[in-house]
Amino acid sequence: MAEESFLTDDFLGQLISVGEVDILVGVPTHNNAKTIRSIVETIQAGIVTFFPRERAAIINADGGSRDGTPELVVRAAIGDAKPGSKLYALRTLPSISTQYASSPANGTALRTILAAAELLRAKACAVISPESTHLTADWLTALLRPVYTETFDLVLPTYRRHRFDGILLTNLLYPMTRALYGLKIREPYALQFAFSGRLGSQFLAQNPWHEETARAGSEIQFTLAAIGGEYRIGQSFLGTKQHVERHSADLVPAMRQTVGALFSSMEPNFSSWDTKTGSQPIPTAGTEAEFTLEPLRVNRKRLREMFSTGVAELEPVFQSILSTSTLAELQSIARLEEVRFHYPADLWAKTVYEFAAAYHKSVISRDHIIQALAPLFRGRALTFLMENRNGSAADVENNIESLCLEFERMKPYLLEIWNGGE
Amino acid sequence: MREMIISELTQAMQELSRGFAHILPRIIVLVIVALAGWVVAYLLKVLLRSLLRLIKFDKLSESAGASQLLSKAALPSATELLSRFVFWVAWLGFILLGISVLGVFGLQEQIAKFFLFLPRLFAAFLTMFFGLLAAGFFSRAALLAAVNANLPSPRLLSVSIRTIIIIFVLSMVFEEVGVAEETVLVAFGIAFGALMLGLAIAFGTGGKDLAQQFLEKRFGQKRKDEEKEDELSPL
């Protein structure tokens, strides 16, 4: 109960009035009034349908919404007898909302949900993103059932995605996490996942929440904590993940949140990954991943330009991070025409490993190292697009698999440069 | 006459001997203080060098860009330079302390002035180092932000920021050591003003097209169209 102090008295009072629960669903929000109503109703439908006899609660951790999101969550609570409700629950299903800060912070939102889960002694908890417009009641049981009945500690999602969606996951986070920890976890950074009370409590107690790196990217830190603690991890196929439109400016914050968190966790978890070779599948309900192939407009010229400009302009920065041979190879790629452009998988793996080692050694500001990786990632993304432009779903999967194997093959190089080398 | 000469000579010899007897112990003290000072200064140097190596001071200096400056000037590494600086300041301090024992008229005041100047010299040295560190950090931050935002001429932006910070730091250093304070202040004002005016004129007239392109890209319809095309979702 060490974490009580950061929760407000009002929130604590509401939690105490709920008592203990079996199932808890946490929804972190910030100005999600448009979608939150249907999300909460779907969660309620999932609980009433699949966990009718269990004691359950919905916790909303809000980051200072100004569009009435928390009020919508609270209003959706199912009482003993709710007139006009379409759902008939055997038990009450409280929905509690708390504002943890005046601005959104994923880490603090997760911390609030974990603390609530610990106080309510929840056996199984799920975190659901308020942007999940494709959410169905089945998602809830797919995530929670393995934790509640099959003693899994962490259940991560797998999705049917567009082949070019989640390109940072397919080209860096998945291959690198797999090569480091030897587990084929498709979505190490998940916005929908379920976990056991004991894993939640352990992460709540052990994560250094006062550190910026621990708060940023807490979702991936949570996955890595489960791997490091040798908890039972599984995956559940949830269905289609909707395509979220992003702009080029979103890349650096996304990299800070995920790649920064992955790099920073390598130091404390060194003993968990240094001896691992190869990779093993983890228990998965449904297929591991599916791809859709509909056409997507992508400005390839712009990606190439940003890569080439980055390589040319950031040369003094890369000299502190990359080996001479890697930098020379990147410079020769940057000179290639768009049709001949190719950033090979082995060079990409080598680049990422050199960045990880530079991050470990803090050769320059760590945040600058992450920012410097963004233009190179654009180059790799362009190659991935070109390689899979006309490929089938199986071809895309094979391409990702061969990249993963390249990361695994290059792992001794990472170990070599981690404590010495170039 | 002869006796008078002998008496004067004897007196002169006696005075010389007295003077020598008076100064000799002081010279011996000076030598002892200088030798002890050398030992203390050497120990300080070794201690400081180990400490700086432990905290990887050379890496800090490298990221600040100070190492490149030192190497261009054929000077040793930052750790070695700072260790030697401390050695010479400490030893010189001991030698001056020894000299003050000699009781030479007017020297005491100069020595006191030197000791009063030392903290300012050290503060100037620190200002210079941290100033270079800040210049390196902020110019790199600007370079990375400009590259990732796809702004034109990122290197120019980065070098401009570095130059402005270095000019500002140099003016602070000169003010600290009391070298031509007013001249440096005026020179800084002129240089800074000229740089800003130059940039404004260059961007407004010379780079009219570039400015138009930049503004269109940032706020115009073109940007919206370009961004609509770039629909890759990283996560």
Does residue B186 sit within a domain? yes
Same domain, B54 and B146: no
Q: Are residues B80 and B154 in the same domain?
A: no
Q: What residues of chain B, 194 to 233, have a C-beta less than 8 Å from chain A?
A: 226-233
Quick one: pLDDT at residue B110? 79
A41 shares its domain with A190: yes
Claim to verify: residue A276 and residue A156 sit in the same structural domain: yes
Mean pLDDT of A183-209: 93
Left, alpha or beta for A182 (phi > 0: left; psi -120 to 50: alpha)?
A: left
Mean pLDDT value of segment B198-209: 70
Tracing tokens 């025409």 back to the chain, one arrives at A337
Residues from A contacting B (CB-CB < 8 Å) are 164-169, 189, 243-252, 254-255, 258, 296-299, 302-303, 305-306, 309-310, 313-314, 317, 320, 363-365, 368, 371-372, 374-375, 381, 385
Q: Report the pLDDT value the prediction gives residue A101, as an integer from 0 to 100.
A: 85
pLDDT value for A62: 93
On whether residue B185 sits in a domain, the answer given is yes
Buried b (16+ CB within 10 A) or exposed e, A362-397: ebbbbbbbbbbbbbbbbbbbbbbbbbbeeeeeeebb
Same domain, A329 and A283: no
Q: Between chains, do B148 and A169 touch, taking CB under 8 Å as contact?
A: no
Instruction: Examine the domain organization and report whether B209 and B125 are in the same domain.
Output: yes
Answer yes or no: is pLDDT of A14 > 50.
yes
Same-domain check for residues A111 and A234 = yes
pLDDT at A350: 97
For B154, the closest chain A residue by CA position comes to A313
Q: Which residues of A touch B145 (CB under 8 A)?
A: 371
Contacts of A327 (CB under 8 A, 6+ apart): A315, A318, A319
What is the count of structural domains for chain A?
2
- Rounded to the nearest angstrom, the minimum Cα separation between B121 and chain A is 28
**Domain containing B126: what range?**
117-215
Q: Is the pLDDT of residue B176 over 90?
A: no
Residue B229 lies in a domain: no
Q: Which pTM does this prediction carry?
A: 0.79
- Distance between CA atoms of residues A217 and A247, nearest Å: 20
Residues of B within 8 A of A364 (CB-CB) are 63, 140
Mean pLDDT of all residues in A58-71: 92
Same-domain pairing of B94 and B179: no
Tell me what ipTM this predicted complex has.
0.85
Q: Does residue B138 sit in the same domain as residue B42?
A: no
Mean pLDDT within B4-9? 89
A56 and A197 in a single domain? The answer is yes
**Same domain? A84 vs A49:** yes
**pLDDT, tens digit (0-9, with 9 covering 90-100), for B42-99:** 999 999 999 988 888 887 777 666 776 676 666 778 888 889 988 998 898 888 888 8
B138 at A interface, C-beta within 8 A = no
Q: Closest Cα of chain A to B205: distance in Å?
A: 25
Residue A36: give its domain's CATH number: 3.90.550.10
Q: What is the distance between the alpha carbons of residues A313 and A316, in angstroms, rounded to a whole number? A: 8
Measured between alpha carbons, how far is B52 from B54 in angstroms, rounded to an integer? 5
Catalogue the E-assigned strands of A268-401: 284-285, 290-292
- A154 vs B133 pLDDT, higher one: A154
Cα dihedral angle (A37, A38, A39, A42), rounded to 10 degrees?
130
Q: Does the residue B157 lie in any domain? A: yes
B140 shares contact with chain A (CB less than 8 Å):
yes
> Which range among A85-94, A345-354, B15-24, B155-164 shows the weakest confidence by mean pLDDT?
A85-94
| Pairwise CB contact (< 8 Å): B233 & A245 | yes
Same domain, A77 and A104: yes
Q: Please tell me the distance from the alpha carbon of residue B80 to that of residue B74, in angstroms, as a whole number.
A: 13
B12 shares its domain with B100:
yes
Tokens (6 digits) for A201: 């409590």
The residues facing A196 across adjacent strands are A124
Name the residue facing B232 among A167, A249, A317 (closest C-beta): A167
Nearest CA among B87, B90, B107 for reference residue B99: B107
Q: Do A165 and B233 touch (CB under 8 A)?
A: yes
Whether residues A412 and A304 share a domain: the answer is: yes
Does residue B130 lie within any of the structural domains? yes
Q: For residues A372 and A252, state if they share a domain.
A: no
Q: What is the pLDDT of residue A287?
A: 85
B137: chain A residues, CB-CB within 8 Å: 365
What residue of A is the nearest CA neighbor of B235? Answer: A166
Q: Does residue B85 sit in the same domain as residue B13?
A: yes
Residues A311-324 have a mean pLDDT of: 95
**Pairing of β A233-240 and β A284-285:** parallel
Residue in B closest to A362 by C-alpha: B59
Q: What is the CATH number of the domain that holds B190?
A: 1.10.287
How many folded domains does chain B comprise? 2
- Same-domain check for residues B67 and B142: no
Are residue B151 and residue B186 in the same domain, yes or no? yes
Q: Check pLDDT > 70 for residue B222.
A: no
Looking at the predicted structure, is the pLDDT value of residue A1 above 50? no
Residues from chain A that touch B225, judged by Cβ atoms under 8 A, are: none
**Is residue B80 a part of any domain in this protein?**
yes
Q: Are residues A391 and A266 in the same domain?
A: no
B147, B227, B234 ranked by CB distance to A167: nearest: B234
- B chain contacts of residue A253, beta-carbon cutoff 8 Å: none
> Does A245 contact B140 at a Cβ distance shorter than 8 Å?
no
Q: Is the pLDDT of residue A319 over 90?
A: yes
Mean pLDDT of A251-265: 93
Q: What pLDDT sits at residue A217?
A: 84
Q: Is the pLDDT of residue A393 over 60?
A: yes
Could you tell me if residue B137 is inside a domain?
yes
Any domain includes B20: yes
Range of the domain at A358: 300-419
Same domain assignment for residues A345 and A285: no
Q: What's the pLDDT tens digit per position in A77-91?
A: 665 444 445 556 667
Least confident of A358-372, B24-38, B202-216: B202-216
CB–CB of B149 and A249 under 8 A?
A: yes
Contact A371 B150 (CB under 8 A): no
Q: What is the pLDDT of residue B72?
A: 62
Claim to verify: residue A45 and residue A185 sit in the same structural domain: yes
CA A102, distance to chain mean position in Å, is: 23
A313 neighbourhood in chain B, CB within 8 Å: 143, 146-147, 154-155
Please, which residues have CB within 8 angstroms of residue A350's CB and are 6 or more apart in sequence? A326, A410, A413
CA distance A22 to B100: 84
Listed residues A244, A273, A292: the one ending a domain: A292
